[in-house]
A and B are shown apart, each in its own frame.
Chain A
Amino acid sequence: MSAASSSASDKRAPSEALLSIRKVEKQFAKRPVLRGISLEVASGEFLTILGESGSGKTTLLRLIAGFEQLDGGEIWMGGERLDKIPAYRRQVNTVFQSYAIFPHLSVFDNVAYGLRAKLVPRDEIPARVRQALAMVKISEFERSAPSRLSGGQQQRVALARALVNRPRVLLLDEPLSALDANLRRQMQIELKSLQREVGITFIFVTHDQEEAMALSDRIALLRAGRLEQVAEPREIYGCPKTAYAAQFIGQTNLLRAEVREGTATTGPIAWPSSEPPGPATFSLRPESIRLALSAQPAASSGATAQFQGQIKNQTFGGAMDLLEIDCGNSYLIRARVPSPGSLTGRQKFEFNASDAVRVLESSDT
């Protein structure tokens, strides 16, 4: 894919948008937290809002849930203005970061809470609660007090409590951040299959880019209150639109190059490029770089670039090693190559010119 197609996909509106966020603005104490956020979410989609802490991702979620009021813009759901409706009348449910399980109610009563609040007929409640508990595999804890559950089990209660209401959108606020690494991976898999099973739109907030890539249909990358890029995980990884996106999602080498007469040059490295002349920044993933096997560039390739460098550091990483290569004048390049055994001295490397992706320095420009 090319950079051009990535920017086109940003503007692509999902065919059947369920949730439509339009030019949303939010300030806290006159400090802007969200600035002109526009985003369409399709029915049945798993969308992740990814960003560092302070990027505004939780605020965006709370605006959708109705815990905060908009300072500008609109939120629509299924042809209805959502932001004018109080939180308790929205067909949206939330899984809280702290789980927010009611400590004075049993697991059953926690899950039944929403049904009772909405005056669902009394005789329907037990069956629906049990179905929800079964769905998240905690049926045996139905009568337990929440304080006796582990973090992972509370997590499941929180999920059941939200899903039992059959919301049109489920909001998840870093729900896995309190779990340890193993449980977390397991929950990621379950969450994804659960979402497919129920077919409800999930909006998932996280700061963990690996989690975002593993789970999402699309990722909305948020930076300082603005959307940096909205795209499918593969696309955002392969064709990051900005230097920030490239660095935040996966590791990368940012090459600040000068393009002249079809060649991009930075330090000792040069490769063919079709970008217009002038300064340009490129992202080159470490795994796109490989050890050059022959001294000469492969005959076929106008599209292959070669460079030499001193191995400065080699970090063993199992199947792949991370190399830090000094290309002279402290020009450092990182490469991830299949474990080659111990490397020293000067080595030759190469990469496909098309893997150096042109990125914008910042989304403002």
Chain B
Amino acid sequence: MSGTSQSSRSPFLGAYALFAYLFLYFPIVVLIVYSFNGSGVGGFPPSGWTLDWYRQLFADASLWDTVLNSVIVAALAVAIALGLGLPAALALDRAQFPGKALFRRLVLLPLILPGIITGLSLLMLFVGVGMKLSLVTVILGHGTALISVATTEIFAGLQKMDRAQEEASLDLGANHWKTFWRITFPNLRVSLIAAALLIFTLSLDEIAVTFFLIGRDNTLPLEIWSRLRRGITPEINAISTLILLFSIATILIWYRLRTRTQLAGDVQTATALLPSSLEGET
């Protein structure tokens, strides 16, 4: 391509890109390094390598309770988001109904809307209908906010799918129900897995919406948050490192799945985030 002819003569741009990467990764590296630092968080240079903080972390039963809470929340948020994101993507792809444009905007809004607004308005709803704040409200909040992610992911999968396949199935005598399970669903399977991974990770890390909807039982990020107010300890570095490693692993799997199904996976991923990404296809 034309780019390759120039790739060798852009030392300045290359250096700038390197600087950008250093900026993106510097805090992450610091965080990880200090999780092994014997003399606690901060100070320079780090001194005394140790696994103490990880030992302390694994012995911290109250923290692991919150991990379990987070996993439960994330798993159920995935179920809600996929359960509604799948029909929502199908509806946006193939149904016409009054208010469709508004529906699309509403579904996608939490993708870009600051978490505080989603969290607050749901808080008022739950208080209004007399629901006690608990993990259930958190699950409903995460599920609702993340339908947007499920919808964009699955919609991208639908766009890529050859519509004639479903027609062929109907043509061969399978009704709509059979066609969905035998043709549409297998075609979307990778999109669904990718969406589930991303939603799981995002839910596991979510803090802005959770902040308003949490009851007595904390999720992991909220537990970390409340501990931060009491002061920072390398134990938090250690759990943060583990969270980070888990996120990186799921994100990389998610990315691989997407690129495997999408012709130009990177661009698809990117445009899926744009609010207008579902325009023009209706």
Contact = CB atoms under 8 A, between A and B. Distances in A.
**Does chain A touch chain B in the assembled complex, meaning CB atoms less than 8 Å apart?**
yes
Interface string A110-146: 0001100110000000000000000000000000000
A113 B167 contact: no
Interface of B: 162, 164-165, 167-176, 178-179, 182-183, 186-187
Given A86-B175, A104-B186, A96 B170 contact: no
Interface in A22-80: 65-67
A92 B173 CA distance: 9
B162 A165 contact: no
A87 B186 contact: no
B165 A117 contact: no
Contacts of B170: 66-67, 86-88
Given A100-B165, A102-B168, A165 B183 contact: no
A114 B165 CA distance: 13
Nearest to A87: B170
A102 B181 CA distance: 13
Nearest to A114: B172
Nearest to A96: B164
Given A86-B175, A88-B174, A96-B164, A113 B169 contact: yes
B162 A100 contact: yes
B224 to A, nearest CB: 42
A161 interface: yes
Contacts, number: 67
A161 B186 contact: no
A98 interface: yes
Contact size class for A?
20 to 34
A103 B189 CA distance: 13
A94 interface: yes
Contacts of B171: 65-67, 87-88, 90, 92-94, 162
Contacts of B168: 94, 96, 100, 102, 161
A114 B173 contact: yes
A148 interface: no
Contacts of B173: 88-89, 114, 117-118, 165
User: Among the interface residues B164, B171, B179, which one has the most CB atoms of the partner chain A within 10 A?
Assistant: B171
20 contacts: A67-B167, A87-B170, A87-B171, A88-B169, A88-B176, A90-B171, A93-B171, A96-B167, A98-B164, A99-B164, A100-B162, A103-B187, A104-B186, A104-B187, A113-B172, A114-B174, A117-B169, A117-B172, A117-B174, A118-B173
